[in-house]
Amino acid sequence: MKLIDFHCHPDLYNDNFKMLNNANKIVFVTNLPVLFERYYPKYKDSKNNFLALGYHPELIEEYPNYFEKFKRNLYKTRFVGEIGLDNSERNKESFGKQLRIFREIMDECNKSDGKIISIHSRKAESSIFEELINNNNIYILHWYTGTLKRLLDGMMKNQNIYISVNLDMTTTKKGHDLIHSVPIDRIVLETDAPFTKESKKRYDYKILEDTITQIAKIKKSNLEDITIQIQANSKKILG
């Protein structure tokens, strides 16, 4: 099994999706339901590009009335993202709306038990973990920057909580501490392309290989063993 990119924004490249021609398996997250609808006819049957239905928390103030459209499309895919909460300074005013919509999204996902959900949680992890119930959904915390204790407590209570790690995370102290402390069987990979340093310049498989190499160094573990475990995690999530 190849390495899988669990969080990527191909539509934000100005290359008319050329980067997907050479991509291995990726979760193609969207920021609004209308974008999912736009790309669905082309990618609905793709074996490599798993199209996710998203409603990005940073866009809720500008696009507040898209939940019904989100709900109407949810049956079309197992993959949900990017969704979540953002309580950073510039998004505090919309946090109440974000929380209402996030709860509505999670209610719908729980009705259709078995979604793979990529979650944005900037400065909002205390609210996020309250909504992650034990069921058949898989929760992947994308570029997690919250408290380590809260994450590990959440993982102890819910076996279906994972983090996705990108290359930029391996270069910061906070990311290093996170990777070091989180059990390897709860880690998968992401690029968050084109938002990371390397993915701004290019999109290729080597970014994932470099990420897993850095994870092995941080874990002080054999690269082959780490690769096998992360592949196993990916396989388990995809079922």
Over residues 30-34, the mean pLDDT reads 98
Q: Rounded mean pLDDT of 56-72?
A: 96
Which tens digit of pLDDT belongs to each residue from 158-183? Answer: 999 999 999 999 999 999 999 999 99
pLDDT greater than 70 at residue 23: no
Residue 221 confidence (pLDDT): 97
Known binding-site residue numbers for a divalent metal cation? 7, 9, 82, 120, 142, 192
Q: What is the mean pLDDT of residues 4-25?
A: 87
Average pLDDT over residues 182-202: 96
For the domain made up of 5-238, the CATH class stated in words is alpha beta
Known binding site: residues? 7, 9, 82, 120, 142, 192
Q: What pLDDT was estimated at residue 2? A: 86
The amino acid present at 22, given as its one-letter code, is: N
pLDDT confidence tier of residue 239, bands split at 50, 70 and 90:
confident
- pLDDT bin (cut points 50, 70, 90) of residue 188 is very high
Residue 46: what pLDDT? 92
Model confidence pLDDT, tens digit, residues 67-116: 999 999 999 999 999 999 999 999 999 999 999 999 999 999 999 879 99
What are 5's two structure tokens?
A: 């990119």
pTM above 0.85, yes or no: yes
Q: Is 208 helix (H, G, I), strand (E, B) or coil?
A: helix
Burial of 69 (0-12, 13-18, 19+ CB in 10 A): middle
Check whether 194 has a pLDDT greater than 70.
yes
> 102: Cβ–Cβ under 8 A, 6 or more apart, which residues?
57, 83, 84, 85, 127, 131
User: 10 Å Cβ neighbour count for 72?
Assistant: 11
Mean pLDDT of the chain: 95
